[in-house]
Structure 1
Amino acid sequence: MPGPNQITPAQLMRLIGLPDAPAIVDVRIPEDIAADPRLIPGSVVRPHDSFDPATATLAGKRVIVVCQKGRKLSEGVAALLRAQSIEAQILEGGSTAWADAALPMIPLSAYPKTNLWVTRHRPKIDRIACPWLIRRFIDPTARFLFVTPSEVQSVAERFDATPFDIEDTFFSHRDDTCTFDTFLTEFALHTAPLRRLATVVRAADTDRHDLSPQAAGLLAISVGLSRQYRDDLEQLAVGLTLYDALYRWARDGHDEGHDWPAGRAQ
């Protein structure tokens, strides 16, 4: 049973991916990170010995602190946060317990050098689904630029941004999969709920509705949102809530049907 200021790996995994997920701060020393250069999804790395909550934009957030074994470094940083009226817990057993539980971890080598991403304007499916995945599981601070298709590569070069969902880029469609699938592969995020969600996204984005009965609905809603919002960032903000709901369906509700009134004549 976890202590009063602890959370288990299984409990934390249930929170990751949700819009109100806690901030996860990895305070492992460089040697420990070098021994296992992977991060818990959604976490950020901060040095324990120069940690300043005031500059970490953690005010008003629930924080989970992670070190290698869930001992002195986590305890100290979490106590420092609580002393500044920030709700903070430590991950029981640290990153070692997380890895031992075979929970998803993102290779540090997969992260781009900045948190800025760029893609084509007027998004529909992949270009909303991928930002959702990045914000919820990879980098909560990620920023997105939507520009004229012909200018994506030039903007990426000039503004040090990572392009996605355009031809001839690393983060794009591969064979018969879509860009969302590519992100799952490159960031080692093949959990059962995300694989289930990926099938729906792929089916809708590649117009293969035979792959998923939910695809036609996702396409209809995505087209409707694109017609409703002229501003791509406004559409993204609304679209994030759509994928929040789809993720909860994929995680908890995919077996649920709806029949009302019950027992009606066939």
Structure 2
Amino acid sequence: MASYNEISTPTLARLIGTPDCPVLLDVRLDDDVDDDPRLIPGAVRHPFADVVDLVPALAGRSVVVYCQKGLKISQGAAALLRAAGIRAEVLEGGHVAWRDAGLPMVPLEKLPPRDPQGRTRWVTRHRPKIDRIACPWLIRRFIDPDAQFLFVAPSQVTNVAERFSATPFDITDTFWSHRGGACTFDTMIAELGLSSPALERLATIVRGADTNAHDLAPEAAGLLAASLGLSRMFRDDLEQLEAGMTLYDAFFRWARDAVDGGHDWPGTPGSRIGKGA
């Protein structure tokens, strides 16, 4: 059982992928990272001795710190943050506990470089519809909550990527793109080690909506309709992305927690309100 100022692996696992997820700091020693160069989804590496440098950026945010086993390094780093007024907890059992639980982990080698502000930067075609909203949602919820997205003219995606050190996605002839019948969302889940029943269920819906294959999942037509509606509501792509984040948050929570739910009119004789009503 997690003690005071600790969070258990199951509790953290329930938070990852949601808007309530804390900032995750990986403060493992370099030798430990070399032995297992993977991160808990959404985590960023930072030297344990320099965590106080992050205090301005962490103000008002909750933080979970983890080292190899959740002992002296993460305990000390979290204590330093708390002394500076940051709400900081330690992951009980650290990296080892998360790994041994068989939970998703992100290979460091697949992550793009970060800019001087510590953010990853991505670029794709403007006027997004489905994949180009789904992928940013996945990145912000599971890779980098502060990720920056650039929406530009299709002909300029590659040029902008080169000039502005951005990672192109959902465009032909790039690494992060469609592969066969799979969408870019599928590619990211596979390459970033994020596979889970909920994300695989959501990926099927995204694929059905993005490729007009609504027979893949009954929810695909609904996602398409909502996505096209959002694209008509917003002229600004970044405003549309912010609205789309809530849409995908809802689909993810349904895929994770409510697939067995249903709804019916309560006054109908013999009807039953499902678990998710």
The TM tier, using the shorter chain, reads: over 0.9
- Report whether the alignment pairs 1:162 with 2:167: yes
Letter of the structure 2 residue corresponding to residue 33 of structure 1: V
> The residue matched to 1:144 in structure 2 has which SS?
strand
| Residue equivalent to 2:52 | 52
Is the partner of 2:172 in helix, strand or coil? coil
SS of residue in 2 equivalent to 1:57: helix
State the match for 2:230 in structure 1.
225
Give the aligned partner of residue 7 of structure 1: 7
Which 4+ stretches in 1 moved above 3 angstroms? Answer: 53-56, 261-266
Judging changes above 3 Å, is the alpha-carbon distance between structure 1 residues 56 and 206 closer, same or farther for their aligned structure 2 residues?
Answer: farther
Shift of 1:136: 0.4
Contact 2:127 2:151 in 1 (8 A): yes
CA shift digits 1:1-25 (9 cap, x unpaired) = 1111111111100000111210010
- Distance (whole Å) between structure 1 residues aligned to residue 55 and residue 23 of structure 2: 14
In structure 1, C-alpha distance between the alignment counterparts of 2:171 and 2:55, rounded to whole Å: 35
Q: What is aligned with 2:105?
A: 105
Q: Which residue of 2 aligns with 1:247?
A: 252
Q: Which has the higher contact order (CA 8 A, sep 6+)?
A: 1
Give the letter aligned to residue 39 of structure 1: L
Q: Is the 8 A contact 2:121 2:165 kept in 1?
A: yes
Q: C-alpha separation between the residues in 2 aligned to 1:220 and 1:179?
A: 20
Which residue identity is paired with 1:103?
L
Query: Could you tell me how far apart the structure 2 residues matched to 1:90 and 1:52 are?
Result: 16
Equivalent pairs: percent with the same residue? 61
Q: What is the aligned partner in structure 1 of residue 274 from structure 2?
A: none
Letter in structure 1 aligned against 2:241: L
What's the counterpart of residue 27 of structure 1? 27
User: 1:255 deviation in Å?
Assistant: 1.2
1:155-199, CA deviations, whole angstroms, 9 ceiling, x for partnerless residues? 111111110001111101101010000000110100111111101
Tell me the TM-score normalised to structure 1 length.
0.97
| Separation of aligned partners in 2, 1:186 and 1:56 | 33
Structure 1 residues 265 and 74, CA, compared in 2 at 3 Å: closer, same or farther?
closer
Answer yes or no: is 1:210 the counterpart of 2:196: no
Structure 1 residue 264, shift from structure 2 partner: 4.6
Change (3 A) 1:53 1:234: same
Q: Establish whether residue 150 from structure 1 lines up as the match of residue 179 from structure 2.
A: no
Distance 1:265 1:65, change over 3 A: closer
Letter in 2 for 1:214: E
Q: Structure 2: 5+ residue runs without aligned partners?
A: 115-119, 272-277
User: CA offset at residue 55 of structure 1?
Assistant: 4.9
Partner of 1:176: 181
AA aligned to 1:76 is G
1:188-199 to 2 correspondences below 5 Å: 188-199=193-204
User: Is the contact made by 1:53 and 1:81 (CA closer than 8 Å) also made in structure 2?
Assistant: no
Q: 1:151 to 1:263 in 2, by over 3 A?
A: same
Answering whether residue 138 of structure 2 is matched by residue 130 of structure 1, we say: no
**Equivalent residues of 2:65, 2:74 under 8 A apart:** yes
**Is the 1:37–1:108 Cα contact (8 Å) retained in structure 2?**
yes
Structure 2 Cα separation of the partners of residues 76 and 265 of structure 1: 59
Q: Could you give the per-residue CA deviations for residues 84-132 of structure 1, whole angstroms, max 9, x where no partner exists?
A: 1211110111101110110111000110123110000000000000000
Normalized against structure 2, the TM-score is what? 0.93
Aligned pairs, how many? 266
